[in-house]
């Protein structure tokens, strides 16, 4: 006679094998369905053990593109914004994204990794820094999913304003909640330019590992702009071959006083300033004439040569999205928003790669 325990063991072996066969078949089917607009998650990245991942606040998929490139299996993703969900589906069809308010979802699949970049409008550069704003409390939703799924690890990305001033109370709140949920945490501000992204962009990353696991996470060391490291990635390389004046793909409004209250231009040989979500505030294209400082918060062009803001495809390239990423959904303004909201995929790859030994 089989004991119940033995029966359970046999069942779990059978289930595991069925799961493996299904997963391989789906992968093969997926390979066959690749179209030119589909990012091949198998290309040039090492294969790894299947790690089921839930992604919250997924946007157009900057973070999830990085995950799929590394071989993670995004089994469930979510965003409130239909334009972002459609763009996500166009580019990462192998993952399932559900469109809707996260507060309305109660059931989640099992997963080893949970990731999320909850919005914190009140902390963005030039924003109101209003730490009472309701958007700033979306981390409670993340915490709810964390406690329900209990993954091995989680990764959060947010604007670096969260680590300063009054906002630090909210960061402390998050750290406290996640520790109480049973996770060991580390956090750090990383600059995307230090990891080969042609843009200076400082963001806070939180990485948590469940306390019963002995794995210790370390943030990656910068690969660029360090002594002995590689030089900063340039706008010249990122924008090579793109049209000079892509009419209809950038904001043509006049440069108002607020826009000219700081230097919005960097040379071709440098990384760009931070790519923001509002199309009126994106940096200048490097072909624009340099700006010079008149006095505090006032800059002017050094010549009357044509000047323009970056186009959305250029912003995507400076965020590290591959050229084949499809931007067909929403208005031009929406595309700027999705791109500026996104986590630069190369930076995210660097952060998540250091978690991979947890599952090897």
To 5 degrees, how large is the angle CA 319–CA 253–CA 266? 40
Element (H, E) at 143: helix 139-149
Element (H, E) at 140: helix 139-149
Nearer to ligand SAM by Cβ, of 198 and 286: the residue is: 198
Q: Which are the contacts of 238, defined by CB distance < 8 A and separation ≥ 6?
A: 198, 314, 317, 318
Burial 91-119 (b: 16+ CB within 10 A, else e): bbbbbebebeebeebeebeebbbbbbbbb
User: Half-sphere exposure of residue 273, counting CA atoms within 13 Å on the CB side?
Assistant: 16
Query: Is the distance from CB of 294 to CB of 333 less than 8 angstroms?
Result: no
Query: Is the distance from CB of 78 to CB of 59 less than 8 angstroms?
Result: no
Query: Is the distance from CB of 121 to CB of 135 less than 8 angstroms?
Result: yes
Nearer to ligand SAM by Cβ, of 234 and 319: the residue is: 319
Nearer to ligand SAM by Cβ, of 238 and 343: the residue is: 343
Select which of 117, 120, 274, 315 is catalytic. 120
Residues that bind ligand SAM (CB under 6 A): 57-63, 78-81, 84, 101-103, 117, 119, 138, 341-343
| Residue 88: CB minimum distance to ligand SAM, A | 8
Tokens of 37: 């607009």
| Residue 89: CB minimum distance to ligand SAM, A | 13
Query: Is the distance from CB of 222 to CB of 195 less than 8 angstroms?
Result: yes
Nearer to ligand SAM by Cβ, of 138 and 318: the residue is: 138
Nearer to ligand SAM by Cβ, of 55 and 272: the residue is: 55
| Residue 182: CB minimum distance to ligand SAM, A | 24
Crossing angle of helices 168-180 and 139-149, in 10° steps, is 10
The closest of 201, 253, 191, 186 to 225, measured between CA atoms, is 191
| Residue 41: CB minimum distance to ligand SAM, A | 16
120 in active site: yes
Nearer to ligand SAM by Cβ, of 51 and 77: the residue is: 77
Report the alpha-carbon distance of residue 55 to residue 83 in Å, rounded: 17
| Residue 145: CB minimum distance to ligand SAM, A | 11
Nearer to ligand SAM by Cβ, of 163 and 343: the residue is: 343
To 5 degrees, how large is the angle CA 76–CA 81–CA 87? 70
Residues classed as catalytic: 120
């Amino acid at each position: 006679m089989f004991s119940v325990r033995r029966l359970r063991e046999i069942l779990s072996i059978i289930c595991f094998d069925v799961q493996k066969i299904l997963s391989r078949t789906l992968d093969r089917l997926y390979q066959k369905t690749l179209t030119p607009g589909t990012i091949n998650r198998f290309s040039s990245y090492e294969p790894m053990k299947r790690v089921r991942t839930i992604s919250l606040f997924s946007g157009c998929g900057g973070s999830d593109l990085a995950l799929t490139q590394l071989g993670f299996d995004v089994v469930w993703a979510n965003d409130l914004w239909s334009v972002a969900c459609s763009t996500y589906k166009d580019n990462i069809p192998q993952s399932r994204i559900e469109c809707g308010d996260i507060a309305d979802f109660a059931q989640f699949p099992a997963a080893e990794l949970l990731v999320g970049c909850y919005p914190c409008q009140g902390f963005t550069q030039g924003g109101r820094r209003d730490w009472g704003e309701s958007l700033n409390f979306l981390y409670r939703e993340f915490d709810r999913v964390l406690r329900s799924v209990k993954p091995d690890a989680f990764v959060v990305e947010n604007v670096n304003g969260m680590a300063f001033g009054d906002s630090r109370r909210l960061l402390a709140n998050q750290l406290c909640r996640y520790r109480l949920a049973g996770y060991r945490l580390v956090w750090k501000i990383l600059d995307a330019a230090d990891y080969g992204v042609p843009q200076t962009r400082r963001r806070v990353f939180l990485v948590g590992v469940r306390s019963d696991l002995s794995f210790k996470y370390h943030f990656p060391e910068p690969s660029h702009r360090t002594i002995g490291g590689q030089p900063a990635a340039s706008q010249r390389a990122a924008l090579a071959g793109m049209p000079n004046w892509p009419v209809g793909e950038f904001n043509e409004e006049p440069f108002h006083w607020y826009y000219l209250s700081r230097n919005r231009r960097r040379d071709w040989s440098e990384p760009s300033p931070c790519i923001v979500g509002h199309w009126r505030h994106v940096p200048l294209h490097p072909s624009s004439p340099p700006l010079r400082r008149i006095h505090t918060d006032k800059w002017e062009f050094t010549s009357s040569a044509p000047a323009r803001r970056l186009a959305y495809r250029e912003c995507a390239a400076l965020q590290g999205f591959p050229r084949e990423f499809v931007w067909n959904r929403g208005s031009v303004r929406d595309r700027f928003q999705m791109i500026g909201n996104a986590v630069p995929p190369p930076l995210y790859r660097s952060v998540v790669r250091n978690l991979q030994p947890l599952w090897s």
